[in-house]
Amino acid sequence: MPLTIKLCLETKIMNKKAAKGSFFCFFIKNYQMRKTILFGLLLFTMATLKAQESIEKTTTYFLIRHAEKVRENPTDKNPDLNERGFMRAENWKKVLQHVSFDVIYSTNLNRTLNTAEPIAKKCNLEPIIYNPSKVDFDLFQTKNEGKNVLIVGHSNTVPQFVNGLIKQQKYLEMDDAEFSHLYIVTVIGNQVTDLILYQDF
Element (H, E) at 84: helix 83-95
32 pLDDT more than 60: no
Query: What does the pLDDT look like over 73-123, one tens digit per residue?
Result: 989 999 999 999 999 999 999 999 999 999 999 999 999 999 999 999 999
- Most confidently modeled range among 2-6, 34-38, 150-154: 150-154
Mean pLDDT of 57-86: 96
Mean pLDDT of 42-60: 63
Under 8 Å between Cβ of 126 and 36: no
| Domain range annotation of the chain | 4-200
165 pLDDT more than 60: yes
The model's pTM = 0.78
Greater confidence (187 vs 48) lies with 187
What's the pLDDT score for residue 43?
56
Under 8 Å between Cβ of 123 and 101: yes
188 pLDDT more than 90: yes
Under 8 Å between Cβ of 26 and 4: no
DSSP string, 97-135: TT---SEEEE-SSHHHHHHHHHHHHHHT-PPEE--GGG-
167 pLDDT more than 80: yes
CATH class of 4-200: alpha beta
31 pLDDT more than 70: no
